[in-house]
Structure 1
Amino acid sequence: MSKVKITCDSTADLSHELLQKYNIDTIPLYIIIDENTYRDSVDIQPDDIYAYAQRTGKLPKTAAVSVQNYIDLFAKYQEYDAIIHINIGQQFSSSFQNAYIASQEFKNVYVINSENLSTGSGHLVIEAAELAAQGLDAEQICENLKRVIPKIDASFVIDTLDYLKMGGRCSSIQAFGASLLNIKPCIEVIDGKMEVGKKYRGKIEKSIQKYVVDRLKDRDDIITDRVFITHSGCSVDLLNQVKQLVIESQPFEEVFITRASCTISCHCGPNTLGVLFKTK
């Protein structure tokens, strides 16, 4: 039976419990604040980023995992027949490129471009871990993952465009207009890129509830083994309401609530929430 180690980066937004359950090792991206470098979700947490942004009106910078960091990670698991590393999409970070360069130093490392972010990538990580537990070899697991990549449905509703504005991803005028009209845009990951989908109006709680129903209700093309509710700091009340709505809308076997990492939170800001699942 093939012995395969699964690794990923911190942007997969998987909970500590899931990482432990599936024996997955994760490597952090970096957050840079005033010349100081912190490891995502190790030395710094998302709430620290919000406090900094509120205090200064600026966003920290984010940085990819270095080639050397990846070499060190892959070197740790050379007793395995293979290592499969799943990365945040190539369009979002140079981490994939760096992981690929590092993998060339080894004969048994496979690097997967998830073409996604957050638990969109997290789905692939769990998928890979389950296939590895079944005894599939690295080539078979990678083939399976490539089939799943285009079938992941990843989207989020954003409460404020201020963070996208601070990060240079939307203009002040767009942010001001959205705030004035109380617009909460849905951001979708399509073909490895972020696109603006439906725009909701009103309070974030109501917008999120409408979004969940829109994404899940009356659909027969959803694979119902698991769904992630991933958020960047929503209230417990709202999370419970969303979970209830998700369960009422589709018969998912497992519903996981996970908190977004610093890198993801840095770009979307607080009160962002997404439901992420796979389609047939």
Structure 2
Amino acid sequence: MRTIKIFADSTCDLPEAWIKDYDIGIVPLYVTFENEMFKDGVDLTTPQLYSKVAKSGRLPKTAAPSPADFIQAFTPAIEQGQQILYISLSSELSSTYQNALIAAEEFEEGQVTVFDSLNLSTGIGLLVMKAVRAADKGQSIAEIVALLEKTRPQVETEFVIDSLDYLYKGGRCSGMQNLVGSLLKIRPVIKVIDGKMTPASKIRGSREKVLEQLLNNALAKIDDMDNDLIFITHSLADEDALHLQEILQSKTKAREVAISDAGCVISSHCGAKTIGILYTKSIK
């Protein structure tokens, strides 16, 4: 058993098999439909989420785990003598980070370290896997945090939203923008910059054109990639993910190009067919 246990929250979108194989602790966020509350990935799957939205016509609300949730999740590892490093969803997007800090104060100093990923989805997952491998090599919490601090600015997170419907339902674009965008087949490209979701551009045209642009954006930085791990993360876009995986495997020197499914929290903000390419650049 490792002396350090790595934790993340459900928005890291790591494959379930990886979470099990690498003994990663996961603290789920909440998804709420009116009076029904579900734990992301525990009580509710992404297909079930879309089914509920289709029936109700409304998006759910999402909420951070409480400090009590974190205490409950951390306690078993602490009792087994492990130190904990928790890598959180961006503090710019959620109170998850702050609630974890509150929970950490309930333990002895040094038992729980909380690190702000300033990212989302497998942008977090990339940092989690760096931490897991460092812990497996016997590195200390301080050494792992130092590595994460160097790596965090190098994480590239870019994804394309297929439809403006979920942005509209979530109040992030107007009815007119939704109508015009749908008629002209405009799909926004979103990047994570300084921990925030930032509109990078808009692509007009077919789904194929959109995927080509997303791919080209990544390949334009091929010389900067650290050649470790590339994630293709998607919400019900399996065929497109496989297509991108095949090309990235052939055109990059990445040790692994992995596919992961977006969970309920990410999907509830972006909608079906959202797809992204996430990787880290080399540390200079």
- Unaligned segments of structure 2, at least 5 residues: none
1:140 CA displacement: 1.1
Q: CA 1:22–1:2 in structure 2 vs 1: closer, same or farther (change >3 Å)?
A: closer
1:119 aligns with 2:126: no
- The alpha carbon displacement at 1:205 in A equals 3.5
- Residue aligning to 1:208: 211
Helix, strand or coil at the partner of 2:181: helix
CA drift of 1:60 comes to 0.9
Q: Displacement of 1:185 after TM fit?
A: 1.2
Matched, 1:90 2:95: no
Aligned equivalent of 1:164: 167
What's the Cα RMSD here?
1.5
Letter in 2 for 1:105: E
Q: Structure 1 residue 81: deviation in Å?
A: 4.1
Alpha-carbon distance in structure 1 between the residues aligned to 2:17 and 2:40: 18
Q: What is the distance in 2 between the residues matched to 1:87 and 1:245?
A: 31
- Residue 9 (structure 1) aligns with: 9
Q: Distance in 1 between matches of 2:149 and 2:257?
A: 24
Rounded Cα–Cα distance in structure 1 between residues aligned with 2:50 and 2:277: 22
Change (3 A) 1:262 1:218: closer
Residues 33-67 of structure 1: CA distance to partner in whole angstroms, max 9, x if unpaired?
A: 12011110111011112112222220011111011
Q: C-alpha separation between the residues in 2 aligned to 1:13 and 1:23?
A: 15
Does the 8 A contact of 1:2 with 1:137 survive in 2?
no
Task: Kindly tell me the number of residue pairs found equivalent between the two proteins.
Answer: 279
1:257-272 equivalence runs, <5 A: 257-272=259-274
TM-score, normalising length: structure 1:
0.96
Tell me if the contact between 1:227 and 1:277 (Cα under 8 Å) persists in the aligned partners. Answer: yes
- Please list every run of at least 4 consecutive aligned residues from structure 1 whose deviation after the TM superposition is greater than 3 angstroms: none
Alpha-carbon separation, structure 2, partners of 1:203 and 1:6: 41
Pair 1:228 & 2:225 matched: no
Question: 1:91·1:193 contact (CA, 8 Å) conserved in 2?
Answer: yes
Amino acid at match of 2:70: Y
- How high is the TM-score relative to the length of structure 2? 0.94
1:193 maps to which of 184, 193, 196: 196
- d(CA) in 2 for partners of 1:117 and 1:237? 23
Aligned residue runs from structure 1 range 1-280, under 5 A: 3-78=3-78, 79-106=80-107, 107=109, 108-217=111-220, 219-234=222-237, 236-280=238-282
Q: What one-letter code is carried by the residue in structure 2 that aligns with 1:125?
A: V
In the TM superposition, what whole-angstrom CA distance separates every residue of 1:118-162 from its partner, at most 9, and x where no partner exists? Answer: 000000111111000000111111111111111100010010111
Structure 1 segments unaligned to the other structure (5+ residues):
none
Q: Between the two proteins, what is the percent identity of the paired residues? A: 39
* CA displacement at 1:248 relative to structure 2: 3.0
